[in-house]
Amino acid sequence: MTGRALIVGAGIGGLTAALAIAKAGFEVAIFERTAVLEEFGAGLQLTPNATRILERLDALEAVQSRALAPRAICILRGRDGALLSRLPLESAQRRWGAPYLVIHRADLQRALVERVAQAPNITLTLGAEVGGVTSDESGVTIGVKRGAIGLRERGDFLIGADGLRSIIRERLGLGGRDEASFSGRVAFRAQVGAHSVAERLRETEVTLRLGTKTHLVHYPLREGAIVNLVAVIESGWRAKKGDDPWDGSADRASLARAFAHWAPQARALIDGAAEWRAWPLYDRPAIPSLASGRVALLGDAAHPMLPFLAQGAAQAIEDAGALADCLKASSDPSQALAAYSQRRAPRAARVQAEAKAQARFYHMSGPLALGRNLGMRMLGPDRLLRRFDWLYGA
């Protein structure tokens, strides 16, 4: 099958989908509403289920050159920094067939944009906001606004990779844009210069510190020049409808309060970051189908998830890999998208559910936390790692 694919959104999902669909032989047009792909976001862990697909798309080398491969995941008790477990990642390649990486989101996006620019059959249009979508027997038409100019674009099928508040999802009748619900948790993200932190914190490792209703993840990025911090707290904050901005620095006091009784090393990280930005964490129930006719959803538009398994971008990348396989296997776009949905919906729903469960596991208190800590010590690193085989080895 050949033809023209339209993609809404040039996040990690849309860009990877473009590479995958172009590799399957299609012409691809991506429309992204922001005029500049900014230094937005922070660090991402890229797990082997995602890096395996990037390799298939000839994008792994570009990504790896900007990433670090952590040697281990260290799980510590928040209040005193006691080691609960150290999961070695040196064997990731052997165990799961692909590397485990950490990378700045902007660097990952840049690597993907570079690959997109090299592909003769992909065009990326920035500052292009997609509004309406209509679909008929022979194709899909979208309305695209570029400044004051409104255009129409036609393709054989459409991929909505337009994130949590997806307009494409709304048009498919799979829920309003503002229906994502606040999870009761807020992630604060910051970066500190590696020179300003203790040597132990510069190790090429992912460190996860667990406390009551609170956890902290940190790892180095950009050749070890910076340390990426993600602090998650439970909070009653609610967004007003359609109102995303949040003044992270204004709420530093509640962040400091949440970590007040933690080990000095962790507190130093919390206090040491000049600027924190906050991401209220949203959730949406899993949907049974990711496609309808010639339109399909991908990434956060399809299955937004809590970040506690570090899987949002990884699942978007998995979507892209599956989409390419299904497009290659069928000459009919609607059939290919239906097959894609069948393949991806159950797995994405499972990952969404497991990420939610992980949130409860991380934030346990009292006897439950004691049991969790004891359990991790008794299980040992190898058996703990085995619990991720279904996810990373797929």
Binding site for ligand FAD (CB under 6 A): 8-14, 31-34, 44-45, 129-130, 161-163, 167, 187, 189, 230, 279, 299-300, 307, 310-314, 316
CA 130, CA 32: separation in Å to the nearest integer?
A: 8
Query: What is the per-residue DSSP string for 255-285?
Result: HHHHTTTS-HHHHHHHHH-S--EEEEEEE--
* Residue with smaller CB distance to ligand FAD, 92 or 167: 167
What is the smallest separation between the CB atom of 160 and ligand FAD, expressed in angstroms?
A: 9
* Residue with smaller CB distance to ligand FAD, 316 or 376: 316
What is the smallest separation between the CB atom of 269 and ligand FAD, expressed in angstroms?
A: 16
* Residue with smaller CB distance to ligand FAD, 14 or 155: 14
Record the tokens describing residue 13, joined without a space. Answer: 């999902």
What is the smallest separation between the CB atom of 9 and ligand FAD, expressed in angstroms?
A: 3
* Residue with smaller CB distance to ligand FAD, 89 or 310: 310
Task: Please answer whether residues 161 and 301 qualify as being in contact, where contact means their C-beta atoms are separated by less than 8 angstroms.
Answer: yes
Q: Is 214 helix (H, G, I), strand (E, B) or coil?
A: strand
Rounded to 5 degrees, what are φ and ψ at 387?
-65, -15
Question: Nearest-CB residue to ligand FAD?
Answer: 312
Record the tokens describing residue 334, joined without a space. Answer: 């609607």
* Residue with smaller CB distance to ligand FAD, 88 or 246: 246
Q: Out of 219, 282, 340, 362, which one is annotated catalytic?
A: 219
* Residue with smaller CB distance to ligand FAD, 45 or 135: 45
CA 265, CA 248: separation in Å to the nearest integer?
A: 22
Sequence letter at residue 25:
G
Q: Is 25 helix (H, G, I), strand (E, B) or coil?
A: coil
According to DSSP, the β-strands at 72-77 and 214-221 are: unpaired
What is the smallest separation between the CB atom of 312 and ligand FAD, expressed in angstroms?
A: 2
Q: Is 27 helix (H, G, I), strand (E, B) or coil?
A: strand
Nearest to 394 by CA among 289, 333, 311, 275: 311
CA 281, CA 183: separation in Å to the nearest integer?
A: 6
What is the smallest separation between the CB atom of 371 and ligand FAD, expressed in angstroms?
A: 27
Rounded to 5 degrees, what are φ and ψ at 322?
-65, -40
User: What is residue 59's DSSP assignment?
Assistant: -
- Quickly tell me which residue has 């477990």 as its tokens: 85
* Residue with smaller CB distance to ligand FAD, 338 or 391: 391
340 catalytic? Reply is: no
Task: Please answer whether residues 38 and 113 qualify as being in contact, where contact means their C-beta atoms are separated by less than 8 angstroms.
Answer: no
* Residue with smaller CB distance to ligand FAD, 266 or 314: 314
Per the DSSP assignment, residues forming a β-bridge with 31 are 8, 125
According to DSSP, the β-strands at 27-31 and 122-125 are: parallel
According to DSSP, the β-strands at 140-146 and 181-193 are: unpaired
Reported as type and span, the H/E element at residue 149 is: strand 149-155
What is the smallest separation between the CB atom of 89 and ligand FAD, expressed in angstroms?
A: 14
CA 370, CA 376: separation in Å to the nearest integer?
A: 10
What is the smallest separation between the CB atom of 181 and ligand FAD, expressed in angstroms?
A: 15
Rounded to 5 degrees, what are φ and ψ at 336?
-65, -40
What is the smallest separation between the CB atom of 332 and ligand FAD, expressed in angstroms?
A: 26
Catalytic residues: 219
